[in-house]
Amino acid sequence: MSAPAVSRGALLPLYAQPDLELERGERCHVWDTGGRRYLDFTAGIAVTALGHASPVVRGAIESALSRGLVHTSNLYRTRPAVELAELLVEGSFPGGVFFCNSGAEANEAAFKFARRWAGTTAGPGKHEFVAFRGSFHGRLFGTLAATDRPAYREPFLPVMPGVRFADVGDVRGVEASLSGGTVAAVIIEVVQGEGGVRPIPPDFLSALRGLCDQHEALLIFDEIQCGLGRTGRLFAWQHAGVVPDLMTLAKPLAGGLPMGAVVASDRVAETLKPGDHATTFGGGPLVASVGAAVTRTIADPAFLERVQELGRHLVSGLESLAGRSARVRTVRGLGLMRGLVLDGPAAPVVTAAREGGLLVVPAGPDVVRIVPPLTITEAEIDEGLDILERALTAS
Ligand SMILES: Cc1ncc(COP(=O)(O)O)c(C=O)c1O
């Protein structure tokens, strides 16, 4: 039996948490205060890509601390931020990088950069955005405006004006929005995460690229959840070979420390000048040192090949589970970002899995999301899928 978890105390009631207090972690496992071990298929919602207690993360933290600089502000340059920016540009496309502290902040910055680019190249009036049904880009006022979740938006209206929604796959609808000449940028997650683990078809990404070029709008890929190795490529858009103008990153970037980034292509970068955007903490020497160590580890072709191998193992296990359980409609995703689509609510299955010793997280009402550390093993995947199968039967 687990020891009783600490109560919420003075924390605001914003998270619906089970009565569970986590105390420590190692690789793909976490332990509660009663010493019970859980296999972690959430990785803190696609964050701890190298697992808990990663020697890479720990080594980078220790070496940064030994230099004594945790934070300096952006009044001055520090080497780790420059190094990490170079790694991200080398792995994606020529341009420059802005560092911030979360996914929502990265998307907010990308919106500002798109408006600066559009204002500089086309003048006023080109300030709108196109986002997609099923999207999740964050919970700040700009990103909430581009997030297709009525329950998240409605209590806080009005959000930022000027976002038009289109359906994924509806090329004509996007074209109609762009043809008025008022759209600065189109934003899309290459694999929709919160919206149910839905990879966007490569031909649609390439149609968006064509439309943005034709109508002089920017293409923003939100790689906050699907980026940095999660799908078996460094960035998910590399499966489709469609290159964006702006790319946003966050979750796994600093191994669990809070960090976000925007990579802006040269033509966008050229329109930015000092004072256009800033944040006090962005790209500090501690987080950037960890970001560089994590990115270097993940960008290794052998590491990415291993993620692809594990992704194939996971999907074949999920498909055979789907074949045995009438409750599973389908399996979606790429690499180690998979969704088990059920015939009913995912929440009871998530609870039953936790009671069985496996942590998973829903993605929308009826999808069980599986985003384990990228360092998981085949045996751990099999163990987790056995627990999940029992949870499907029990719930
Ligand atoms: C695709 C995507 N974009 C943006 C965000 C927002 O990131 P954060 O929670 O760090 O603000 C998330 C978070 O889940 C996400 O999955």
Cβ(224) – ligand 1 distance below 6 Å? yes
- Which residue's structure tokens are 């986590």? 22
> Does residue 76 sit in the same domain as residue 45?
no
Would you say how long the chain is, in residues?
395
Ligand 1 center to residue 143 CA distance, Å? Answer: 9
Q: Which structural domain, as residue segments, surrounds residue 101?
A: 69-299
Whether residue 78 has its Cβ less than 6 Å from ligand 1: no
Same domain, 124 and 41: no
Is the same domain home to 349 and 267?
no
223 CA to middle of ligand 1, Å? 9
| Ligand 1 site, residue 137, Cβ cutoff 6 A | yes
| 284 pocket-lining for ligand 1 (C-beta < 6 Å) | no
Ramachandran sector of residue 50 (left: φ over 0; alpha: ψ -120 to 50; beta: rest): alpha
Task: Report yes or no on 201 lying in a domain.
Answer: yes
Q: What digits encode the pLDDT tens for the residues 83-96?
A: 999 999 999 999 99
pLDDT for 281-339, tens place per residue? 999 999 999 999 999 999 999 999 999 999 999 999 999 999 999 999 999 999 999 99
Asked if residue 263 and residue 139 are part of one domain, the reply reads: yes
- Could you read off the pLDDT of 96-148 as tens digits, one per residue? 999 999 999 999 999 999 999 999 999 889 999 999 999 999 999 999 999 99
CA distance linking residue 66 with residue 59, whole number of Å: 10
Helix (H) or strand (E) holding 389: helix 378-394
* Ligand 1 center–CA 226 separation, angstroms: 10
138 within ligand 1 shell (Cβ under 6 A)? yes
Write the residue with the smallest CA distance to atom 16 of ligand 1: 225
Pocket test for ligand 1, best of 101, 187, 226, 251 (most atoms within 8 A of CB): 251
Query: How far, in Å, CA of 348 to CA of 365, rounded?
Result: 11
Please work out whether the CB of residue 42 comes within 6 Å of at least one atom of ligand 1: no
Kindly state whether residue 11 falls inside one of the protein's structural domains. no
Secondary structure (H, E, C), 40-83: ECCHHHHCCCCCECCHHHHHHHHHHHHCCCCCCCCCCCCHHHHH
252 lines ligand 1 (CB under 6 A): no
14 within a domain of the structure (yes/no): no
- Shortest-distance atom of ligand 1 to CA 226: 1
| Same domain membership, residue 373 and residue 235 | no
How large is the angle between the packed helices 202-214 and 171-179, nearest 10 degrees? Answer: 20
The pick from 107, 111, 135, 224 for probing ligand 1's pocket by mutation, whose C-beta has the most ligand atoms within 8 angstroms, reads 224
Whether residue 5 lies inside any domain: the answer is no
pLDDT category of residue 8 using cuts at 50, 70 and 90: confident
The predicted-structure confidence for 140-156, as pLDDT tens digits, reads as follows: 999 999 999 999 999 99
Q: How confident is the model at residue 5 (pLDDT cuts 50, 70, 90)?
A: confident
| C-alpha of residue 90 to centroid of ligand 1, in Å | 24
CB of 250 sitting under 6 A from ligand 1: yes
List, by residue number, the catalytic residues.
136, 222, 251
pLDDT in tens, 45-54: 999 999 999 9
Q: Which CA distances in Å does 245 have to 9, 129, 388?
A: 45, 14, 40
Q: What is the CATH number of the domain that holds 218?
A: 3.40.640.10
What integer is the mean pLDDT of 40-45? 98
pLDDT digits over 200-237, tens only?
999 999 999 999 999 999 999 999 999 999 999 999 99
Closest alpha carbon to 97 in 85, 112, 81: 85
Question: Cα(222) to centroid of ligand 1, in Å?
Answer: 9
Q: Is the full-model pTM beyond 0.95?
A: yes
Question: Which of 299, 327, 352 is where one domain is finished?
Answer: 299
**From the CB of 222, is ligand 1 less than 6 Å away?**
yes
The predicted pLDDT at position 6 comes to 85
pLDDT score for 324: 96
Q: Are residues 50 and 154 in the same domain?
A: no
Average pLDDT estimate for 361-379: 98
First and final C-alpha spacing in the chain: 21
The answer to whether residue 80 is domain-embedded is yes
Residue 9 in any domain: the answer is no
* Domain end call among 249, 270, 299: 299
- pLDDT at residue 15 is higher than 70: yes
User: Is residue 3's pLDDT more than 70?
Assistant: no
| Distance of alpha carbon 226 from alpha carbon 236, whole angstroms | 6
Q: For residues 351 and 378, state if they share a domain.
A: yes
Question: Domain boundary residue among 299, 334, 366?
Answer: 299
Mean pLDDT score across all residues of the chain: 97
Would you state the pLDDT for residue 7?
A: 86
189 in ligand 1 pocket by Cβ < 6 Å?
Answer: yes
**How far, in Å, CA of 233 to CA of 164, rounded?**
30
**Position in ligand 1 atom list of the atom nearest CA 140:** 11
Mutate to test the pocket of ligand 1, among 47, 48, 105, 137 (most ligand atoms within 8 A of CB): 137
Question: What is residue 367's predicted lDDT score, i.e. its pLDDT?
Answer: 98
Position 2 pLDDT exceeds 60: no
pLDDT at 66 over 80: yes
Q: Looking at residue 324, which CATH number applies to its domain?
A: 3.90.1150.10
At 254-272, the pLDDT tens digits run: 999 999 999 999 999 999 9
Task: Please give the distance, rounded to the nearest whole angstrom, from the Cα atom of residue 38 to the centre of ligand 1.
Answer: 24
Give the pairing type, strands 198-199 and 191-192. antiparallel
Residues 263 and 220 in one domain: yes
* Cis ω before 201 (30° cut-off from 0): no
Residues 148 and 266 in one domain: yes
Q: Are residues 122 and 211 in the same domain?
A: yes
Residues 263 and 339 placed together within one structural domain of the fold: no
Question: How many structural domains compose the chain?
Answer: 2
pLDDT grade for 374, boundaries at 50, 70 and 90: very high
Ligand 1 centroid to Cα of residue 284, in Å, is 20
* Tokens standing for residue 250: 């966050």
Q: How many CB atoms lie within 10 A of CB 139?
A: 15
Residue 12 lies in a domain: no
Domain assignment of residue 316, yes or no:
yes
Q: How many A from CA of 390 to the centre of ligand 1?
A: 30
Q: Does the structure show a pLDDT above 80 at 1?
A: no
Same domain, 328 and 355: yes
